[in-house]
Structure 1
């Protein structure tokens, strides 16, 4: 019996050994299965329409709002302007400047925005190709002419019973410096008047460096620039000082009442405004003809946008000389290099100042430990686009 069990155990052992020698499917003695590497899912490229930064979706499907902001020194500090993606500044009547703040989504505005002030046609012409809802309190006659001619959506306090703004208690300020709006007020007006706020933007409003290449930065080809001084008129001047840690140009303005240079502060958060991009565009600015009153106030300023002009682009501590083009009221504002190749802005917020050619000689900039450099330009050549910058 023991002998039988021993023989049986030996047989089972041999069976196990030979069974273990049989090639597995696809192993030695068979075809190898093809190993298919999974195709990586492409990472969607989703730039923000207004800044070029990475966004949650490809392009915004919400219509932007463009809000006119009072910039008289007696109305400062303003509220909410640090949230704007783009800030325009240009001279209006009397040598004062006005601001237009572009907000990409009115539902995301935190706190008040203002003081809101009256519309001017140059700002409307910058807002129209962006399809932004134009928000203001009052307007010049020529601005209304553009609104009527193009049947363009706007919200005007004077004609819409203060639905989108309110008077804020602001002791020490004149009443015209106390009108503000916010998300709730804007939405109430949009609902009441049935404005369509759905807008699919097929591209960014300007050419931006791709945010996934070198973190959205390129080094400009020009010289290092730390300080910029823009003269709009004798008492309206805008300054920028470069903050290398933040990679932003920090904004200040001249207070003519006090005779001092002051940081441009958002009263909502107490923070100084800073921009990754600063563009200074020179244009022929003159008074509109005044045929005896009516739509043309004798002091309203006409910014000639029909041809284009020259300017400067500052970013990441450097400068480049540029050209700008627009054309008709609904044509987009376009920036190029001096050879008219597309200008690529670094990702981030942008300040755009349109400055009278007559003030070019007082425009100044300086690099680290350099003396201020004053621009020199012949206005006739600049109008023709023939000038070469220094």
Structure 2
């Protein structure tokens, strides 16, 4: 009898305990079964090292979409990009500048001829830091400013000098000085604010040993960490400006999608030139079906990032054809160029091993350039680096 009572009591106690446990964990309440315990909402804080620098664990779940490239990254990445604004860096592509540093980490890269058939890059960083150095940093051009102006209010612009109008000599001042990049920066009211022109050491510096036996103009470097820190500390520009306005309040991003099934036979290799007789700047993109990406060759050789010796590869290669012309501005040291960056024109979007013919459209310099197929529908880009090649109208692309 005693044993039976004991068993009944034990079963009863188990049922009561189970009930209260279920009620507590499902309602957060146990006091009189009436009051709920309100747990505080804690915002994610990424791990930091002894100096307060965020530690990026690349093996962590990639749950956050980069607003610029659509790439899925970690919460630690997002914790960083939410506190800053897009940063455009002018990186040269002359033979003496190779291999460049930092290009594989950029969200978006634009390439166009700077002068004499020699191309230059505008590398836009936001969601990821450069993997070490970024450079060599060179001078500004008006059409790259038009591209950077899409990235909200006061995007950071790192460069060393720029095409300009010399009022003393008249060089670059003819025909209304249409290629005057420094003058355009002044009109946009970027000077000494979001314009990071030749920032002194230790933010920018000359490194004569990184690429030995190079002329002085090929030696300026920085890092995205230093540039973002300088902008925040000296210019009061983080994700908000000095008046508290967020940079992306009116930013119009692209559409993104996941990778699709590949078709390497359709566009397995892409070849084109910028200018005749300038084969050192000819470009080839080779499709890699394993990573569903395109690997870049520059002047016939793999285009490498010196920071990690990795070949530059993009998830999307977008070729836009724009009207190229000379500025006719009496520039005494060569010929400044212009591109018609607004309006619309032909485009070819390469992704998933295939080519999509269509058009690009850009209403004005502040409007996001977008890409449309032949039916007029906006093309969604694959998540990852977007490489935009600006070719003169009439050039041929082989694929």
TM-score (norm 2): 0.71
The answer for the alignment partner of 1:52 in structure 2 is: 70
SS at match of 1:308: strand
The answer for the alignment partner of 1:178 in structure 2 is: 219
**Distance (Å, rounded) in 2 between the aligned partners of 1:277 and 1:47:** 16
Deviations 1:59-90 (A, max 9, x none): 84521211000100121110111111111100
Pairing 1:128–2:117 present:
no
Please, which of 184, 205, 216 is the counterpart of residue 146 of structure 1?
A: 184
The answer for the alignment partner of 2:58 in structure 1 is: none
Matches within 5 A, 1:10-89: 46-55=64-73, 56=75, 57=78, 60-89=82-111
1:168 deviates by 0.5
1:46 deviates by 3.8
Change over 3 Å in CA distance of 1:312–1:249 after alignment to 2: same
Show structure 2 runs of 5+ residues with no match. 7-14, 16-25, 28-61, 165-179, 241-245
Task: Tell me, yes or no, if the aligned pair for 2:84 and 2:237 is still in contact at 8 Å.
Answer: no
Pairing 1:283–2:301 present:
no
Task: Tell me, yes or no, if the aligned pair for 1:85 and 1:103 is still in contact at 8 Å.
Answer: yes
Change over 3 Å in CA distance of 1:188–1:281 after alignment to 2: same
Over aligned residue pairs, what C-alpha RMSD do you find?
3.5
Task: Tell me, yes or no, if the aligned pair for 2:263 and 2:353 is still in contact at 8 Å.
Answer: no
Pairing 1:311–2:347 present:
yes
Matches within 5 A, 1:297-336: 299-336=335-372
Change over 3 Å in CA distance of 1:356–1:217 after alignment to 2: same
The answer for the alignment partner of 1:3 in structure 2 is: none
**Distance (Å, rounded) in 1 between the aligned partners of 2:369 and 2:303:** 26
Matches within 5 A, 1:94-173: 94-105=116-127, 108-131=129-152, 132-141=155-164, 142-152=180-190, 153-157=194-198, 160-162=199-201, 164-170=203-209, 171-173=212-214
The answer for the alignment partner of 2:310 in structure 1 is: 271
Larger-Rg structure: 1
Pairing 1:345–2:381 present:
yes
Deviations 1:182-208 (A, max 9, x none): 145425632563240215546773211
The answer for the alignment partner of 1:207 in structure 2 is: 255
Change over 3 Å in CA distance of 1:204–1:48 after alignment to 2: farther
1:145 deviates by 2.3
The answer for the alignment partner of 2:237 in structure 1 is: 196
Deviations 1:123-177 (A, max 9, x none): 11111111431110011122122212221321111xx445531111232111111
SS at match of 2:378: coil
The answer for the alignment partner of 1:6 in structure 2 is: none
Count the aligned residue pairs: 322
SS at match of 1:176: helix
TM-score (norm 1): 0.73
Pairing 1:224–2:266 present:
yes
Please, which of 246, 249, 254 is the counterpart of residue 291 of structure 2?
A: 246
Stretch moving more, 44-53 or 350-359: 44-53
